[in-house]
Amino acid sequence: MEKRRVGFTETVLRDASQSLIATRLSYDKMEPILDKIDQAGYYSVECWGGATFDVCLRFLDEDPWERLRKLRAKLPNSKLQMLLRGQNILGYKHYPDDIVRRFVRAAVRNGMDIIRIFDALNDVENLRVAIEETVDAGGMASGAISYTISPVHTLETYVNMVKELEKMGVSSICIKDMAGILTPARAYDLVSAIKDAVDLPVVMHTHSTTGTAFMTYLKGVEAGLDVIDTAISPFSGGTSQPATETLCIVLKELGYEVDLDQPTLKEIAEYFKPIRAEYLEAGTLNPISMGTDPQCLTHQIPGGMLSNLLSQLKMLGASDKYEEALRETPRVRADLGYPPLVTPTSQLIGTQAVQNVLAGERYKNVGTEIRAYCRGEYGRTPAPIDPEIRAMILNGESPIEGRYAASLPDDAFQKAEAELGDRATCEEDVLSYIAFPQVADNFFEKRAERIEKRVSYSITRAD
């Protein structure tokens, strides 16, 4: 009998570094090892999207589009992969369809192969435009389920979702377990159900936060999983993914076909060891993020959300309210229709839980984002929002009918182009500005100063 092949997606250039060192891995740190990554035999290399776009502009003084073009040139034999938040693109609000389409086309044009597309509410209508444009642009759309557990999230709801994604033209289905709460037994059942429902490759993404990830992958592979997300060992574990090398060896021993070259993986690991040590010494890599937290299997709150809760309370001088806020979080989630706890809904739910606890009265203080959520600006919630709470928050305002993005004006690109004027040198600059206006503006200003200095230096030397 022919051995079944299992592919590996390497996450060190994106989610592993995002999870462990807040995405502070600069292109200069990656560049020397890219040729080895290109030769290792990965199914794909996740290297863009998620928080990388914002961090490049805000903290690393890099143009994310230029980074993508450099990665494409240095990884000619690899399928490049990114993470896209559906109608949110890479930001935290919904954008008009025209902007989503332009962004997707630009990503593919600049070298992207696979775009993994998810929505924080699992509302397939928030995925449709990005999926359609990815396919039309010649890319591979990977439709993602934001995995969560609640009374309304059943095998049947997930199967119905993947059937819709298949109709939209996705190339694969990704089970995106952002909190690391997918246990081995649940993984086996979910992968089996999806494989029975659709004729598409199934990919799994999880985190080692709860300590179950290695076992979860093994049971998923046993059920027919085609690709797994892993991180090279120095950047694996904790809130990152399980180690690439370990799973490569284990799966080969179990009789699966794995294309990875182990000596090359060793070279990649050796390269990243001193880089990990550098971030650890600088305090960017917090040892706490390398720990295991099985409690997450009970409260189902992702590690990043827990740290945000604690951080908010500390800033407000209310650290003693942490346990109370922790208890309030699942109550708020239930009130608001059981959204998966992933960006941006995790921030919305966590902030509201803190507000409720500090005010001593539930929903006395409500932010603009929660009002927007209750109006329907984020899409269709998995379960109905509690009608009394929704009425209290909206205070007489009517919810939106239909898809919110369809109501947005279609001149956003032209307005941004006019605002930028000469500061924009290409379409990609305008898209950066639309996603992160102030951050991109600051970057363009610094870039112009650098160019001016170079020109001045050239003229001086010529004289």
Tokens of 245: 């090398």
Contact 220, 252 (CB under 8 A): no
The alpha-helical segments, DSSP class H, found in 137-261 are 155-168, 184-197, 213-222, 244-253
Please tell me which residue, 72 or 297, carries the higher pLDDT value.
Answer: 72
**Hey, which residues does 257 pair with through a beta bridge?**
5
The pLDDT of 239-261, averaged and rounded, is 97
E strand or H helix at 230: strand 227-230
> What is the pTM assigned to this prediction?
0.94
Q: What is the pLDDT of residues 378-395, one digit of tens each?
A: 999 999 999 999 999 999
Q: What is the pLDDT of residues 348-379, one digit of tens each?
A: 999 999 999 999 999 999 999 999 999 999 99
pLDDT band at 1 (very low <50, low <70, confident <90, very high): very low
Q: What is the 3-state composition of the chain as percent helix, strand, coil, each rounded to the nearest 5?
A: 55, 10, 35
**Hey, which residues does 7 pair with through a beta bridge?**
227
Per this entry, what is the length of the chain?
463
461: pLDDT strictly greater than 60: no
Can you tell me the distance from the alpha carbon of 97 to that of 412, in angstroms, rounded to the nearest whole number?
10
Contact 205, 216 (CB under 8 A): no
- Return the pLDDT at 454: 65
